[in-house]
Structure 1
Amino acid sequence: MLCCLFLSCGEHMAQESNNNVDYRQEMREFVIEISEIAKEENPNFIVVPQNGVQLVSKESKFKKTPALDYLNAIDAVAQEDLFYGYPKLNKITPKADNLYLRKYLDLAKDEGKQVLVTDYCSGFKLMKNSYKLNEENNYTSFAAPRRELDRIPTYPVFNENNKNISHLSEAKNFLYLLNYAEYSSKYDLITELAFTNYDLIIMDLFFHNEAFTAEDIQKLKKKKNGAERLVISYLSIGEAEDYRFYWEENWNSKSPTWLVEENPEWEGNFKVEYWNADWKDLIYGSENAYLSKIIAAGFDGVYLDIIDGYQYFEDRE
């Protein structure tokens, strides 16, 4: 989630600490490594980084110089709050911030990458306008009625269709659902999701600490109308979450050196030195790593969050 003004954070000069860490490049390399490992097992595996869209450009201040190694490793870029939701639900994102972000999004689009946008707005009028604005810019979007991402909107599926979706570029719409608190059982959630016609579902790997199985995910790869769709899993790589399977109880009293501090905006989420090898091992370094679990569950791809985690470290310099 976004925690600072787009413009002020985005124009922050890329810095190196006393340890000569290039925070932006380290995040690019982390994403590239995830992509290489996943695509080695499945060449069609989808990799989508959310926010931190400045990484598509080599320079910290915008110039049309694409970071090609990074762009070649990903299949799309994703952005929250582009037209609605910043600084809060139903608020129009300030024009300066919107234009600033769109420069980077369009740079990625010019390099053949799809743009996925999640706006946060409720009410049919605002949601309709969100979809209209995104479509005018050739972005694929989702209007989320709650920032908690905990429910399927009653608003009709935008650009609903009965086409088979086998590639991300074919998706005309998507659903973003991470919080399952409203669902009493995994069966209820799967049943409700299967009864939708979204082309793409972005969801969490776990239902109340229980990972979805490959059989579960396969049930979701059919739309209500019988056509095929894509299902990809959320994965935070810029923060550690104390409710995840990798969290060790003793970290509450004696944390690893790469675990920095709790995010004051999101209880239980902790900033990490994402370039640290031990953290990377938890994400992709073994058969029990997070990425391995996502692949084993049969997801079509991964939706990487807290890509903008580099801003936290730049701002501390």
Structure 2
Amino acid sequence: MKKLMLLISFIMIGVNLLGINEKAEMKKLILKIREESPKDFILIPQNGTGIYFEGENKINYKLVDAVDGITQESIFYGYPKYGEKTPSEEKNHLLKNLRMLKKLDKVIMTVNYTDNKYGKWRSRNLAKENNFLNYCPKDREVTEIMEHVFLKNNKDIVNLSDAKNFLYLLNPEKFKHKSEYIDKLSQTAYDVLIIDLYFKGIELKKDDVNKLKIKPQGGHRLVIGYFSVGEAEKYRKYWREEWNDKLPKWISHENENWEGAYIVKYWSEEWQQIIEKMLKNHIESGFDGVFLDTIDTYQNFEEE
């Protein structure tokens, strides 16, 4: 029996040594993106706020220093479904983390999924109480521009900390032409635009991005490019046709909540090469920074 227990112990140690620390690997990826970006390039990861902590309250200052802002979805509304009030337990846990990060001079941005007048008012006021910025999209797919801007100003937005508001638009499918899309965005009064590098498969050029950097009421604003670091998306340029028949080994499985999005082993060399290419494209197109979505993918692996 003693020999058997020893054998089991050695096997478990071997599994541990060969295993992947998913949280640590996501930290490495964020830091790598920071290192490969220009000095003043802005990084805004979304969700997965636990990644900035070691244990309950010990802060990873190196990682916190690497990012400029932190975005959290559904802190007040939108979890588990669009329009629903987020349960108090979940909200309070997120608020605790975000308040600690706010004290370290990080810009906190919240995205709450509700189109209810009271829900939008409540989200805005709760965000204001905590000195967070807030945005409430009309739908979960984030396809429309919310034109009414609170705290509109004509000052230059040089740093993310100068911003009073932001627009979050990931899917411009309702616009017919790129020129219409760019014109409509340029007419909005937001301090920060978070948008995709592509319009229906067409990459935005530097002239397009530069046009978006000027607010109609005067002043310079920031244009931030969206991309997902923890999931591969079937509709992206990097997606290969043969993957429809057989997924590469570095793709784990499809996200059951989002059709066409696949959880990736983001520590793999193949995926990190794709990330490098996406980052390079954003820099060359003149974006002021990148918005890193699906940071919380590490939690999927930990739960599994």
TM band (smaller chain): over 0.9
Go from structure 1 to structure 2 and tell me whether the alpha carbon gap of 1:52 and 1:17 turns closer, same or farther (over 3 Å shift): farther
**TM-aligned CA deviation for residue 141 of structure 1:** 1.1
Q: Tell me how far apart the structure 2 counterparts of residues 97 and 232 of structure 1 sit (CA, whole Å).
A: 28
**TM-aligned CA deviation for residue 187 of structure 1:** 0.6
Q: Tell me how far apart the structure 2 counterparts of residues 130 and 17 of structure 1 sit (CA, whole Å).
A: 43
Q: Tell me how far apart the structure 1 counterparts of residues 29 and 135 of structure 2 sit (CA, whole Å).
A: 27
Secondary structure of the equivalent of 1:179?
A: coil
TM-score, length-scaled by structure 1? 0.89
**Aligned-residue identity in percent:** 39
**TM-aligned CA deviation for residue 17 of structure 1:** 5.7
Q: Tell me how far apart the structure 1 counterparts of residues 114 and 192 of structure 2 sit (CA, whole Å).
A: 20
| Residue pair 2:27, 2:51 contacting (<8 A) in 1 also | yes
| Residue pair 1:159, 1:173 contacting (<8 A) in 2 also | yes
Aligned pair partner of 2:254 in 255, 259, 262: 262
Aligned to 2:4: none
Q: Tell me how far apart the structure 2 counterparts of residues 93 and 123 of structure 1 sit (CA, whole Å).
A: 14
Q: Tell me how far apart the structure 2 counterparts of residues 304 and 213 of structure 1 sit (CA, whole Å).
A: 20
| Residue pair 2:168, 2:193 contacting (<8 A) in 1 also | yes
**TM-aligned CA deviation for residue 94 of structure 1:** 0.8
TM-score, length-scaled by structure 2? 0.93
Matched, 1:121 2:114: yes
Matched, 1:51 2:51: no
Structure 2 unaligned runs (5+)?
Answer: 1-14
Aligned to 2:138: 145
**TM-aligned CA deviation for residue 56 of structure 1:** 1.0
Q: Tell me how far apart the structure 1 counterparts of residues 80 and 93 of structure 2 sit (CA, whole Å).
A: 15
Q: Tell me how far apart the structure 1 counterparts of residues 97 and 160 of structure 2 sit (CA, whole Å).
A: 20
Aligned to 2:21: 22
| Residue pair 1:204, 1:234 contacting (<8 A) in 2 also | yes
**TM-aligned CA deviation for residue 253 of structure 1:** 2.2
Amino acid aligned to 1:161? N
**TM-aligned CA deviation for residue 264 of structure 1:** 1.4
Go from structure 1 to structure 2 and tell me whether the alpha carbon gap of 1:270 and 1:17 turns closer, same or farther (over 3 Å shift): farther
- 1:20-77 deviation digits (Å, cap 9, x = unpaired): 2111111011011001101xxx211000110001111112xx22x1111111111111
- 1:215-246 deviation digits (Å, cap 9, x = unpaired): 00000001111211000001101010111111
Aligned pair partner of 2:233 in 241, 244, 260: 241
The list of structure 1 runs, each at least 4 consecutive aligned residues, that deviate by more than 3 angstroms after superposition, is none
Structure 1 unaligned runs (5+)?
Answer: 1-15
Aligned to 1:175: 167
Secondary structure of the equivalent of 2:136?
A: strand
Q: Tell me how far apart the structure 2 counterparts of residues 217 and 223 of structure 1 sit (CA, whole Å).
A: 12
| Residue pair 1:131, 1:158 contacting (<8 A) in 2 also | no
Amino acid aligned to 1:55? I
| Residue pair 2:155, 2:218 contacting (<8 A) in 1 also | no
Amino acid aligned to 2:166? F
**TM-aligned CA deviation for residue 18 of structure 1:** 6.3
Q: Give aligned pairs, total.
A: 290
Q: Tell me how far apart the structure 1 counterparts of residues 211 and 24 of structure 2 sit (CA, whole Å).
A: 38
| Residue pair 1:56, 1:107 contacting (<8 A) in 2 also | no
RMSD (Å) for aligned C-alpha atoms: 1.2
Q: Tell me how far apart the structure 2 counterparts of residues 300 and 22 of structure 1 sit (CA, whole Å).
A: 31
Amino acid aligned to 1:199? D
Q: Tell me how far apart the structure 2 counterparts of residues 76 and 103 of structure 1 sit (CA, whole Å).
A: 16
Matched, 1:74 2:73: no
